[in-house]
Structure formats: structure tokens, C-alpha cells
Amino acid sequence: MELKKIAIIGGGAAGFFAAIHAAEGKNEVHLFEKSNKLLSKVKVSGGGRCNVTHDCDHANKLIQYYPRGGRSLKKGFEIFGTKDSKAWFENRGVSLKIEGDGRVFPKSDSSQSIIDCLLNEANKKGVHIHLKKEVKRVKPKTKGFFLKINEKEEYFDKVVLANGGYPKKEAYQWIRDLGLEISDPIPSLFTFNCPEYQMKELMGLSVPNGSVQIPGSKWKESGSILITHWGFSGPGIIKLSAWAARDLFEKNYHFPILINWTKFKEEDLRTLVQDYKTENPKKKILSHPLFDISSRLWQHLANKAGICGDLRYLDLSKKVMNKWIEHLVRDEHQVKGKTTFKEEFVTCGGVELSNLDLKTFECKDIKGLYIVGELVNIDGLTGGFNFQNAWTSGFLAGSSLSK
Ligand SMILES: Cc1cc2nc3c(=O)[nH]c(=O)nc-3n(C[C@H](O)[C@H](O)[C@H](O)COP(=O)(O)OP(=O)(O)OC[C@H]3O[C@@H](n4cnc5c(N)ncnc54)[C@H](O)[C@@H]3O)c2cc1C
């Protein structure tokens, strides 16, 4: 077999996985990292614990956790899915655990276990690692590529771009120069700022079964909602930020939201309140919260509708009841800006999937050039899905190169 000289650009999760698998075929594999740190996102991921993948094993289900690119990953997940990622790390001595919500972490609760495993494996396979080497240009030739690395040019037979996501267009110019289509990069996974809202006294309060929608759009997500000192966060909000990332960017992050603080639809809630009113006419509204709403939030929402003091269900007028139900199921807030979700963020956008053969992540029009990880227009929700994209695409590119 002809030995190939392969360049991997980027020392993150996808770059390492591609390098390790490309080196299986005894190729000469060089990994270039522009900074002086390897796997730096893995280090901070999952609050330092590294949510390495998810327990969802079925490709059909797994793709539903990707606001962009999920369907294109289906074939890839069938070849190297979450089960394979778990087995890969466990076979190399990293014990994993699955948490109640399906997220998978190393048992050590330390991302260093994942880093050590990847570094060991790269070392065993003889991957040459070069720090502080920034690739500034890739020039395809009739055969192979010339790379500008710092200020020097060097020849490689094959190249894997694994230089990650970055929410600024300019960072992609040298990739666009290759003639590849790039979907403009913007942030995904963020929390909502509501500078004018009156809920600061409730900060820290989390509502487990809420839902949030953006009126006049198709965007609606359910899940826990956390009241913060600047606005709203929690899984329901973060999920919505990911699915609606591009629309929200276009609105310059200024838009209204409607929060349902309960798990009920308006008609059902109205019936439940009416039944409760009939059965408990003398109960004071403020001191008898319903629908698992905490008493602080209950009082806040009731006060907003004009319910105060000792008002009993018996005394509740139709007008006040309507207003109150409105606040329970369609509580309106104005979002004016976003805040990065510190625990995980990802870039929406990147190299368009139409440029790639999704069985190998090789460019259709530039043979020998592969593009993997977050640099591709694929991004997932929180839960281990973004690393799974890195493992799957890195594996497909790397193992294609080792054949
Ligand atoms: C705080 C945080 C926590 C996260 N937690 C999780 C989690 O728990 N689970 C999960 O699934 N996902 C998580 N993610 C997302 C996940 O980290 C990324 O999706 C994943 O790391 C992407 O891997 P990558 O290799 O494609 O890119 P990156 O990890 O970004 O790696 C790219 C590398 O390329 C280098 N590089 C860039 N340009 C060049 C160049 N021109 N030349 C040479 N090198 C270059 C960069 O310095 C970088 O080291 C988290 C993200 C963040 C920011």
C-alpha cells in the first residue's frame, strides 16, 4: 500500500479522531494546532466533566437532536454511532456512566480522562503533533496539496480540515477561497436577556414543565425554564435558541416570547381552574398554588393579573380569571439580546453539507480534502451530541484515509 502524508488541521475532538483513524493504515499523519493547547474544548466541556456522547443509540432518533445537519448524519451514525463511541473509549480504559437524562460522562467526572485517552492513542499510532502551527492556506494541486503553515509551505497528499466552528465570517475566508460554500456562522445555544422584566426577585427559580414559544413563528420548545437575574435560561430556552438560531440572529435577538408556566394547554387549564373554583370556593387564591407552580411564582403571576390579598376563588371575576390564565399559559416577555450559555456553545453554520460525500466527509469537488467536526454546518443540542458529530465525522474521514 502506498504510504500517504496526511495533514490534519486542528487539535480538537474531530481532529484527534480523524488523525488516530487515519494513522491506522500506517500513513504519516501530522496534526497542526495553532494554539499551544490540545483538546482545549474537551477540557472545559460539560463543566470540566466532558459530556462525551449521549445514550440515544438509534440513528433515526439521534438525528432529531441536531437543529442542523442531523439527517445528513444518519448514514454516518449507522456506521459509527453513540454505541461505537462508548465502546471506543471503554475499550481504551475510560469507564463511562450514563446519567438519568441520557448524557454520558467518564466515571472519573473529569474531562482529563478523555484527553489522556486521545493523547495516548494518537501517541501509540505515531501521529506527529505540531503546536503553534497555524494553517493559513490550502492550495490544491493536480496531485495533493500545498499548505501554508505559519510562513512555510509544505506538501501533503491528503488534508483534513478540523479547525472547528467560530461565529465570525472572516475566519472562514481561506476555506471559502477553496471554492467551498459556507453557511454564515452564527452562535447557537444561548440564553435570553430580558432587561426590562420584573422577575429578578425570582431568580434561581426553575419551572420543570414549562414551554416557550415565539409568537408569529413555528418555534416552540418545552422543558425546564430557569429564571435568572438577566432573563431566562434552562433546557427549554437553550433548545429554543438552537432550533431558532438563524431566525433569532436575523431579529438581532429582539423578539417577544410567550411562556406557559404549566404543562397544560389553555382549554384544559381553564377547566381545571373552573373545577377547582367550584370545589373550593372559599380557598384563598394566593395561598393555594396549583399545577406544581412554586408559591413565589404563583403569587407573582397572580399579582400581575391583579389578584392580591385574601381574594378567594369565589370572588374571582371572569375578567380577572381570563387575565390570570393568560399569565399562566402565555406570559409575554420581550427578549433584547442574548448571553452565551457558559456550559456549552456551538457554531450554527459552516461548510455546507452539499459540498461533502457524507460517507467519508471528503469534498466532492476537491478529492483528498476532508472536512469534519464543528467546521461543517452541523450542530446539536446540549447532551453530548456535538462531540458525537466530532467522533462520527472524524472516524469516517480517518478510516477512509487509512483504507
Ligand atoms: C464551553 C463548552 C463546553 C462544551 N461542552 C460540550 C459537551 O459537554 N458535550 C458536547 O458534545 N459538546 C460540548 N461542546 C461542543 C464541543 O466542544 C464542540 O462541538 C467540539 O469540541 C468540536 O470539535 P472540533 O474538533 O470540530 O473543533 P474544536 O474543538 O473547536 O477544535 C478545533 C481546533 O482547531 C484549532 N484551529 C483553528 N484554526 C486553525 C488553523 N488555521 N490552524 C491550526 N489549528 C487551527 C483550534 O485552535 C482548535 O484547537 C462544548 C463547547 C464549549 C465551548
Q: Where does the pLDDT of residue 94 fall: very low under 50, low under 70, confident under 90, or very high at 90 and above?
A: very high
Q: Are 106 and 159 part of one and the same domain?
A: yes
Alpha-helical (H) ranges within 333-384 are none
Q: Are 247 and 352 part of one and the same domain?
A: no
User: What separation in angstroms does the CA of 281 have from each of 201, 299, 316?
Assistant: 30, 18, 9
Nearest CA owner, ligand 1 atom 2 = 344
Using a 6 Å cutoff on CB, does residue 51 contact ligand 1? yes
d(CA 77, CA 59): 6
Count of structural domains within the chain? 2
Closest atom of ligand 1 relative to the 163 alpha carbon? 34
User: E-assigned strands of 179-320?
Assistant: 182-188, 190-193, 206-213, 220-227, 231-233, 254-260
Q: Are 76 and 175 part of one and the same domain?
A: yes
How far, in Å, from the CA of 210 to the mean position of ligand 1? 31
Closest atom of ligand 1 relative to the 32 alpha carbon? 43
Q: Are 201 and 266 part of one and the same domain?
A: yes
**Looking at residues 328-332, what average pLDDT do you find?**
96
Q: Given 340, 358, 385, which residue is the final one in a domain? A: 340
Q: Are 217 and 259 part of one and the same domain?
A: yes
With the most atoms of ligand 1 within 8 angstroms of its CB, the residue from 387, 388, 392, 393 to mutate is 387
**Looking at residues 286-310, what average pLDDT do you find?**
92
Which structural domain, as residue segments, surrounds residue 307?
Answer: 190-340
Q: What is the pLDDT of residue 202?
A: 93
**Looking at residues 84-112, what average pLDDT do you find?**
98
Q: Are 97 and 156 part of one and the same domain?
A: yes
Q: Are 319 and 195 part of one and the same domain?
A: yes
For the stretch 125-157, what's the b/e string if a residue is b when 16 or more beta carbons lie within 10 angstroms of its beta carbon? Answer: bebebeeebebeebebeeebbebebeeeeeebb
Q: Given 340, 357, 373, which residue is the final one in a domain? A: 340
Q: Are 31 and 174 part of one and the same domain?
A: yes
Q: What is the pLDDT of residues 167-218, one digit of tens each?
A: 889 999 999 999 999 999 999 999 999 988 778 889 999 999 999 999 999 9
The overall average pLDDT reported for the chain is 95
Contact 331, 323 (CB under 8 A): no
Q: What is the pLDDT of residue 1?
A: 60
3-state secondary structure of 76: helix
pTM to 2 decimal places: 0.96
Closest atom of ligand 1 relative to the 15 alpha carbon? 25
Using a 6 Å cutoff on CB, does residue 210 contact ligand 1? no
Q: What is the CA radius of gyration of the chain?
A: 25
Nearest CA owner, ligand 1 atom 51 = 344
**pLDDT surpassing 90 at residue 39:** yes
Using a 6 Å cutoff on CB, does residue 32 contact ligand 1? yes
How far, in Å, from the CA of 38 to the mean position of ligand 1? 10
Q: What is the pLDDT of residue 25?
A: 77
**Looking at residues 121-144, what average pLDDT do you find?**
97
**pLDDT surpassing 80 at residue 279:** yes
d(CA 36, CA 383): 28
Q: Where does the pLDDT of residue 139 fall: very low under 50, low under 70, confident under 90, or very high at 90 and above?
A: very high
Q: Where does the pLDDT of residue 294 fall: very low under 50, low under 70, confident under 90, or very high at 90 and above?
A: very high
d(CA 162, CA 361): 11
Q: Are 196 and 249 part of one and the same domain?
A: yes
The dihedral over CA atoms of 61, 48, 361, 58, expressed in degrees to the nearest 10, equals: -20
Among 383, 378, 381, 382, residue whose Cα is nearest residue 394: 378
With the most atoms of ligand 1 within 8 angstroms of its CB, the residue from 45, 82, 103, 339 to mutate is 45
Using a 6 Å cutoff on CB, does residue 125 contact ligand 1? no
Closest atom of ligand 1 relative to the 35 alpha carbon? 47
How far, in Å, from the CA of 82 to the mean position of ligand 1? 18
**Looking at residues 65-79, what average pLDDT do you find?**
96
For the stretch 91-104, what's the b/e string if a residue is b when 16 or more beta carbons lie within 10 angstroms of its beta carbon? Answer: eeebebeeeeebbb
Q: What is the pLDDT of residues 214-269, one digit of tens each?
A: 999 999 999 999 999 989 999 999 999 999 999 999 999 999 999 999 999 999 99
For the stretch 43-79, what's the b/e string if a residue is b when 16 or more beta carbons lie within 10 angstroms of its beta carbon? Answer: eebbeebbbbbbbbeebeebbebbbbbbebbeebbee
d(CA 248, CA 250): 5
Closest atom of ligand 1 relative to the 13 alpha carbon? 25
Q: What is the pLDDT of residue 320?
A: 94
Q: What is the pLDDT of residue 22?
A: 97
* CATH number assigned to the domain comprising residue 86: 3.50.50.60
Q: Given 323, 340, 357, which residue is the final one in a domain? A: 340
Using a 6 Å cutoff on CB, does residue 384 contact ligand 1? yes
Q: What is the pLDDT of residue 342?
A: 87
Using a 6 Å cutoff on CB, does residue 236 contact ligand 1? no
